[in-house]
Amino acid sequence: MSKNIPDIDTDISSWYNKIVIKAGLADYGPVKGTMVIKPYGFQLWENIKEVFDSMIKKTGHTNAYFPLLIPKSFLAKEAEHVDGFAKECAVVTHTRLKSEDNDIVVDPESRLEEEVIIRPTSETVIWSMYKKWIQSYRDLPILINQWANVVRWEMRTRLFLRTTEFLWQEGHTAHKNKQEAEKETLDILELYRKLAEDYLAVPVFTGLKTESEKFAGADRTYCIEAMMLDKRALQAGTSHNLGQNFAKAFDVKFQTEDNKEEFVWATSWGISTRLIGGIILAHGDQKGLKIPPNIAPIQVVLIPIFRDAEQRQEIERYIHSIIGSLEDIGARYFVDWSDSSPGYKFNEWEMKGVPVRMEIGPRDVESNKVVLVRRDNGEKYSISFDELSDKINMLLIDIQSSLFNQAKSFRDNNTHTVQSYEEFKNIIESGGFIRCGWDGSDETESKIKEETKATIRCIPFDENPKNLNCIYSGGPAKHEVIYAKAY
């Protein structure tokens, strides 16, 4: 099967597109830029969703749902926000169609008095509701999240990484003071880091976005940034301290404990189905996906190998007892009884990235054993039935750790320091992250972006600008930053 896959080392873009389709994760929707998430891909998203949903509920957040349609006037209330999303908005202007000369046309009499926007993000509609819900400090904090779809009309799209419509979660919280809002923003960022590293096995840098890269309407945007196999950066999650911007735009005030009136402080934060693209591009190989066990839809696939009906019956009985062991340890499994050849099945499940393959033939039944094969490195083990539960548990833990360590080594080995702008340009051209000094000026940032297409991914929390000079201007560095080309 891998013979039909483009070379990951020379054409990772084509490799990625092919893998998404052949692994059964998604397909192209009928409208340009949209995608259909197939069951296997949606199971992966559901596992990610379940993990993060549990995290935020443990920290006091609750889920709600807000409308898909937003009055156009709402966007205009926050100037920076509307400027940031104006070019991506899908606008509804009419409410019905009619037949005319064997064609379907818009009924001009159904034009809306006020056009509505299909949500690109929900800050405006949510803050219009918070104005109704918040009067006193007793109403705060509000810690609401929603799982939803959004539409951003993209010019260049790629399945999962950038599509016109995608799935995400968006948290929107309201607080009584600046310190509480800032704490919320950073607490959520830490949950994103934990999700990425402990479950997706993707190491990330955490830090602050520059003014030019921050979310439209935010005071500060924090992010997690990951390195993909082509040495490009993927923004994997963002957490925004919105200050009082949206509260002022929608006149959301509250009465303080000492009977004063103040504007509410806000945050918003989100991750999306682009995380699935990140998993593919952080762990894949020429055979296909490598899905970390902690979020794999199927952790163990069982492949029965038999010649006739009699052998099948023997193996069925044996597998029945194995399934009991897998269920006891809570392993997610699938038994492939399809009539494809064993070799085809091996290739197919390697393509799908299932962490452990279990092969069961007549000899294995006779010897009370199974053969286990790791997807991450191909190692094989012949294991007795009595050892099976412990071995599978150990393998799943080890594969999860191994995928993270491999990705971290790759990132660290391709994160550079440089002594000159020429060296900077050469590394950016070939791919990689660069930690270097930046003088803090918008002019320097825009010039480097213009000349190299590289952007400041973040000002990392562990920055150390002392004794650094700006890589472009040569002046004293205000910050140590991470530069890279990005998706």
pLDDT at site 154: 85
Is the distance from CB of 472 to CB of 439 less than 8 angstroms?
Answer: yes
Cα–Cα separations (whole angstroms), residue 221 to 185, 215, 273: 9, 6, 20
Half-sphere exposure of residue 99, counting CA atoms within 13 Å on the CB side?
Answer: 1
pLDDT score recorded for residue 1? 46
The domain spans of the chain are 2-91+121-283, 298-394, 415-484
Q: What is the pLDDT of residue 359?
A: 98
* CA pair distance 42, 427, nearest whole angstrom: 37
Burial class (CB in 10 A: 0-12, 13-18, 19+), 421: middle
Residue with tokens 């094969």, as numbered in its chain = 373
Nearby residues of 240 by Cβ (< 8 Å), 6 or more positions away: 185, 214, 215, 218, 220, 221, 222, 267, 268, 269
Cis peptide bond prior to 141, omega within 30° of 0: yes
Q: What is the pLDDT of residue 3?
A: 64
First to last CA, the chain: 28
Tell me the residue type at 439: D
HSE-CB for 403 with a 13 A CA cutoff: 33
Angle at 479 between CA 212 and CA 229, to 5 degrees: 70
Report phi then psi at 212, rounded to 5.
-75, -20
298-394: CATH class: alpha beta
How many C-beta atoms surround the C-beta of residue 134 within 10 A?
22
- So what's the pLDDT on residue 313? 96
> Residue 86's pLDDT is what?
86
Which residue's entry shows tokens 């997690």? 224
Q: How far apart are CA 377 and CA 414, in angstroms?
A: 22
Q: What is the 3-state secondary structure (H, E, C) of 328-364?
A: HCCCCEEECCCCCCHHHHHHHHHHCCCCEEEEECHHH
Closest CA to 172 of 137, 121, 108: 121
Amino acid at 374: R
Distance of CA 292 to the CA centre of its chain: 14
Please tell me the distance from the alpha carbon of residue 66 to that of residue 89, in angstroms, as a whole number.
18
What pLDDT is recorded for position 2?
A: 55
CB 348 within 8 A of CB 355: no
Is 2 within 8 Å of 287 (Cβ atoms)?
Answer: yes
Q: Which H, E and C letters describe the chain, residue by residue?
A: CHHHCCCCCCCHHHHHHHHHHHCCCEEECCCCCCEEECHHHHHHHHHHHHHHHHHHHHCCCEECCCCCEEEHHHHHCCHHHHHHHHHHCEEEEECCEEEECCEEEECHHHEEEEEEEECCCCHHHHHHHHHHHCCEHHHCCEEEEEEEEEECCCCCCECCCECCEEEEEEEEEEECCHHHHHHHHHHHHHHHHHHHHHHCCCCEEEEECCCCCCCCCCCEEEEEEEECCCCCEEEEEEEEEEECHHHHHCCCEEECCCCCEEECEEEEEEEECHHHHHHHHHHCECCECCCCHHHCCCCEEEEECCCCHHHHHHHHHHHHHHHHHHHHCCCCEEECCCCCCHHHHHHHHHHCCCCEEEEECHHHHHHCEEEEEECCCCCEEEEEHHHHHHHHHHHHHHHHHHHHHHHHHHHHHCEEECCCHHHHHHHHHHCCEEEEEECCCHHHHHHHHHHHCCEEEEEECCCCCCCCEECCCCCECCEEEEEECEC
Q: What is the CATH number of domain 2-91+121-283?
A: 3.30.930.10
Query: In the structure encoding, which two tokens stand for residue 432, read together?
Result: 């990689």
Asked whether the beta carbons of 480 and 435 are under 8 A apart, the reply is yes
pTM equals 0.96
Q: What pLDDT does 360 receive? A: 97
Predicted confidence pLDDT, tens digits, the chain (487 residues): 456 899 999 999 999 999 999 999 999 999 999 999 999 999 999 999 999 999 999 999 999 999 999 999 998 888 788 788 889 999 999 999 999 888 999 999 999 999 999 999 999 999 999 999 999 999 999 999 999 999 999 888 999 999 999 999 999 999 999 999 999 999 999 999 999 999 999 999 999 999 999 999 999 999 999 999 999 999 999 999 999 999 999 999 999 999 999 999 999 999 999 999 999 999 999 999 999 999 999 999 999 999 999 999 999 999 999 999 999 999 999 999 999 999 999 999 999 999 999 999 999 999 999 999 999 999 999 999 999 999 999 999 999 999 999 999 999 999 999 999 999 999 999 999 999 999 999 999 999 999 999 999 999 999 999 999 999 999 999 999 999 999 9
Q: Residues 214, 455: contact at Cβ < 8 Å?
A: no
Superfamily of segment(s) 415-484: C-terminal domain of ProRS (3.30.110.30)
From 50, 45, 31, select the one nearest 278 (Cα to Cα): 45
